[in-house]
């Protein structure tokens, strides 16, 4: 377990070194935040998220070291600004121990940890970018055959959009927006038929073609 912490320290140090270009000054060193997602218990403790950083505290007074830096404000005047050593300079470390999380969601961070542990995102989750992660998770959970079908569908969709955009640029379909919508609907329906024939569920077809589930179900009656 100790070796993992050494590896984590090496990783953050390497990022600092690799991002400092020749000729740059030391104050341009990148600020590093290291996040480790652990599926094993690293040490003892009851929490599932641990935070660490570099602090300088007086050996006798126990007071934190305070630094001041000279800056120039928007009026060109020199001002003194207190530097937060912990937050602005040295690396910060987060250890997320997924297995210790008890599925009780109280914060946006908990939503992400819940996803990491359960490979699931609840409908009520609304933290930043969680919906994009939900789409990606759905794709990753497909079996190989479903994934190939979906990738083929997305490829066809990109080609269709490229053709329509090219037509717009060349003036071929100016003033024919209704025809474009009808053509798109036809393409969606044809794609849905192919996906259903390949064995995808109506729910999955509706999700990836953006058709209503009722429209998908109506195809079974044709």
Question: Is residue 96 classed as helix, strand or coil in its secondary structure?
Answer: strand
pLDDT in tens, the chain (222 residues): 668 888 888 988 888 888 887 778 887 888 888 888 888 888 888 899 999 998 889 999 999 888 877 677 677 777 777 777 788 888 999 998 988 999 899 998 898 888 888 878 888 888 887 777 777 666 655 666 666 666 665 565 565 555 555 555 555 545 444 444 555 666 677 777 777 776 667 777 777 777 777 887 777 665
**Does a structural domain hold residue 137?**
no
CA distance linking residue 175 with residue 178, whole number of Å: 8
**Does a structural domain hold residue 136?**
no
> What's the total number of domains in the chain?
3
Binning the chain into helix, strand and coil, the percentages to the nearest 5 are 50, 15, 35
pTM: predicted TM-score of the whole model, two decimal places: 0.55
One domain for residues 188 and 123: no
Range of the domain at 177: 142-221
One domain for residues 41 and 104: yes
CA distance linking residue 97 with residue 42, whole number of Å: 8
One domain for residues 79 and 146: no
One domain for residues 12 and 67: no
One domain for residues 177 and 203: yes
**Does a structural domain hold residue 211?**
yes
């Amino acid at each position: 377990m100790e070796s993992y912490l050494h590896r984590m320290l090496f990783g953050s140090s390497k990022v600092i070194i690799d991002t400092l270009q020749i000729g740059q000054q030391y104050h341009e060193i990148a600020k590093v935040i290291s996040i480790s997602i652990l599926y094993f218990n690293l040490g003892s403790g009851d929490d599932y998220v641990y935070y660490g950083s570099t602090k300088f505290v007086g050996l006798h007074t126990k007071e934190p070291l305070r630094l001041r830096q000279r800056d120039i404000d928007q009026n060109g005047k020199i001002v003194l600004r207190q530097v937060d050593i912990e937050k602005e300079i040295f690396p910060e470390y987060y250890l997320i121990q997924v297995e210790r999380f008890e599925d009780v969601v109280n914060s946006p961070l908990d939503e992400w940890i819940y996803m990491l542990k359960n490979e699931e995102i609840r409908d009520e989750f609304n933290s930043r970018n969680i919906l994009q992660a939900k789409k990606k998770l759905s794709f990753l959970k497909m079996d190989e055959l479903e994934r190939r079908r979906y990738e083929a569908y997305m490829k066809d969709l990109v080609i269709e959009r490229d053709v329509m955009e090219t037509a717009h640029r060349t003036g071929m379909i100016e003033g024919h927006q209704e025809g474009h919508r009808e053509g798109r609907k036809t393409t969606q329906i044809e794609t849905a038929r192919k996906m259903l024939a390949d064995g995808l569920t109506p729910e999955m077809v509706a999700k990836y073609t953006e058709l209503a589930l009722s429209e998908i179900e109506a195809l079974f009656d044709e």
